[in-house]
């Protein structure tokens, strides 16, 4: 990703946390949502990087397997973050 892409991703994920700093529940929810977005960007970059490395070092089947493993990890992380965001929205 280019520097501009990283800045845009950061701005989009950090903006809700900064915009809703007035209420405690709203602030926590926005922070958790921003973390979810940031983690998704990081996980996606890692997936692409690891899969590309596997493609060049071990071939297409290894790259496909690496992609699937990283996608499953991203899905797990997203579910955990979604649960945390939902809990924050409910005031827990």
pLDDT at 25 over 80: yes
pTM (two decimals): 0.64
End-to-end, the C-alpha distance of the chain in Å comes to 36
- Residue 22 CB-half CA count within 13 A: 2
Q: What is the pLDDT of residues 33-85, one digit of tens each?
A: 888 889 889 999 999 999 999 999 999 999 999 999 999 999 999 999 999 88
């Amino acid at each position: 990703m280019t520097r501009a892409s990283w800045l845009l991703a950061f701005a989009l994920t950090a903006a809700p946390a900064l915009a809703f700093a007035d209420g405690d529940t709203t602030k926590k929810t926005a922070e958790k949502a921003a973390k979810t977005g940031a983690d998704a960007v990081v996980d996606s970059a890692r997936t692409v990087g690891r899969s590309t490395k596997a493609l060049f070092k071990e071939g297409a089947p290894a790259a496909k397997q690496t992609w699937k493993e990283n996608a499953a990890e991203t899905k797990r992380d997203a579910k955990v973050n979604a649960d945390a965001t939902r809990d924050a929205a409910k005031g827990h």
